[in-house]
């Protein structure tokens, strides 16, 4: 089968398409999935270049990718027909999900073995042409849940600022914050994406045309916002501390973010801890199925063009998700 692997840390050029990779054997509690689409995330290139903490103990050569959508084609010895049926994972079922945090194997391959606990069925009425969105849902969605529900604990009536409102995670943070009861959500993004931010329910701030700090203070009559959800971090974290209302809190999404500048000022700051599992995958499925989480896919590229996909990711201006077609 075909599989993307890399033998050393480095730029996108280290990613290599292997056409003679062995088909994996599922463990007792694993499901064998024929992959249709692979969702990409900034975490992927940070693991590939060695800058992520997850790269520290990674054994090379390694696969790449964390989330996907595909079709169940088999299962391990610990999952009989009744068990698969109770989970909704019988062969032929379309599924989406992401590898658990302790599983370093990639998903950018034609066939993968993955824990049954890390998958959920895709509703039958979803058309095949919508599958790319489901491939990009799990990691971004679970990150958004961990950010809004666990780390930020957004409460009814609070005001929220999202940095990166049209990125893969940002497009989920906005509706989730509103569902949690936020009175208003402001979101930064490029001017060209302002209408998309409005569609998601937020007030856009075009950082490439205006001073976003002044815009926030003007919009809040100088009071600042209650919560900042910062998907960018590097150029936004420190100035965001100055636009927080008294008692406000900030959540920085990069796992290696330095929170000390906030903590030294007595500001509550957290990094979300992603939690995987079927219950949260089902929550995401219900949200995207109902239209509450209108995640957008900006690019679908063939599996062999993963190097180009990573270059687009690293550019940092991707709107929505980049997805690989594992069948092309």
User: What is the reported pLDDT for 303?
Assistant: 97
Over range 130-149, report the average pLDDT: 96
> Residue range 199-227: average pLDDT?
96
Mean pLDDT throughout 228-254? Answer: 95
Shared domain for 95 and 204, answered yes or no, is no
Q: Report whether 71 contacts 36 (CB < 8 A).
A: yes
Distance CA 62, CA 64 (A): 7
Is 286 contained in some domain? no
Domain membership flag for residue 206: yes
- Owning domain of residue 145: 140-270
How sure is the predictor about 318, in pLDDT bands with cuts at 50, 70 and 90?
A: confident
In a domain, 38, yes or no: yes
Please indicate, yes or no, whether residues 11 and 127 belong to a single structural domain of this protein: yes
Report yes or no on 280 lying in a domain: no
- Packed helices 138-145 and 278-290: angle between N→C axes, nearest 10 degrees: 100
User: Which runs of consecutive H residues, i.e. helices, occur in the chain?
Assistant: 42-48, 81-87, 131-135, 138-145, 170-179, 194-200, 212-219, 237-240, 260-264, 278-290, 306-315
| Mean of the per-residue pLDDT values of the chain | 95
pLDDT tens digit sequence for 18-75:
999 999 999 999 999 999 999 999 899 999 999 988 888 899 999 999 999 999 999 9
- Measure Cα distances from 205 to 49, 166, 196, 219, 239 in Å: 32, 12, 12, 10, 15
- Looking at residue 101, its pLDDT comes to 86
- Number of structural domains, the chain? 2
The yes-or-no verdict on residue 173 having pLDDT over 90 is yes
Q: What is the mean pLDDT of residues 188-194?
A: 95
Alpha carbon 270 to chain centroid, angstroms: 18
pLDDT at 288: 92
Is 285 contained in some domain? no
Based on the fold, state whether residues 125 and 233 are members of the same structural domain.
no
Pairing of strands 94-98, 119-121: antiparallel
Regarding whether 162 and 115 lie in a shared domain, the answer is no
In contact, 208 and 191? CB cutoff 8 Å: yes
225 and 121 in a common domain: no
pTM assigned to the model = 0.93
The pLDDT assigned to 202 comes to: 97
Residue 54: what pLDDT? 87
Q: What's the confidence (pLDDT) of residue 260?
A: 97
Q: In terms of domains, do 115 and 228 share one?
A: no
The pLDDT-based confidence of 284 (bands split at 50, 70, 90) is very high
Shared domain check, 105 and 47: yes
Is 235 among the domain residues? yes
98 in the same domain as 11: yes
Q: Domain of 19: which CATH number?
A: 3.90.180.10
Q: Are residues 43 and 133 in the same domain?
A: yes
Do 57 and 126 sit in the same domain of this protein? Answer: yes
Residue 281 resides in a domain: no
pLDDT above 90 for 161:
yes
User: Domain check: are 67 and 187 in the same one?
Assistant: no
Domain presence at residue 284:
no
Residues 31 and 150 in one domain: no
DSSP element (H, E) containing 96: strand 94-98
């Amino acid at each position: 089968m075909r599989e993307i692997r890399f033998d050393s840390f480095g730029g996108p050029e280290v990613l290599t398409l292997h056409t003679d990779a062995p088909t994996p054997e599922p463990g007792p509690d694993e499901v064998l999935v024929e992959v249709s689409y692979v969702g990409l995330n900034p975490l992927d290139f940070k693991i590939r270049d060695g800058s992520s903490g997850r790269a520290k103990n990674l054994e090379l050569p390694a696969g790449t990718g964390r989330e996907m959508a595909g079709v169940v084609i088999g299962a391990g010895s610990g999952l009989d027909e009744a068990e698969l049926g109770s989970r909704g994972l019988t062969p032929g079922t379309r599924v989406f999900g992401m590898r658990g945090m302790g599983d370093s194997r990639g998903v950018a391959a034609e066939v993968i073995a993955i824990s049954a606990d890390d998958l959920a069925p895709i509703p039958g009425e979803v058309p095949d042409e919508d599958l790319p969105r489901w491939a990009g849902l799990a990691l971004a969605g679970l990150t958004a849940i961990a950010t809004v529900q666990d780390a930020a604990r957004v409460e009814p009536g609070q005001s929220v600022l999202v940095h990166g409102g049209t990125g893969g995670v940002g497009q989920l943070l906005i509706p989730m914050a509103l569902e949690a009861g936020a009175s208003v959500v402001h979101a930064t993004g490029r001017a060209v994406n302002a209408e998309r931010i409005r569609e998601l329910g937020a007030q856009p701030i075009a950082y490439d045309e205006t001073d976003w700090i002044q815009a926030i203070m003007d919009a809040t009559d100088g009071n600042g916002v209650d919560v900042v959800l910062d998907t960018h971090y590097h150029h936004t974290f420190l100035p965001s501390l100055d636009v927080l209302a008294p008692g406000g809190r900030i959540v920085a999404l990069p796992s290696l973010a330095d929170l000390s500048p906030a903590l030294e000022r007595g500001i509550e700051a957290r990094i979300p801890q992603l939690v995987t599992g079927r219950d949260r995958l089902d929550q995401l499925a219900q949200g995207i199925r109902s239209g509450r989480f209108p995640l957008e896919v900006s690019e679908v590229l063939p599996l062999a063009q993963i190097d180009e996909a990573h270059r687009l990711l690293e550019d940092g201006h991707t709107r929505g998700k980049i997805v690989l077609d594992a069948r092309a």
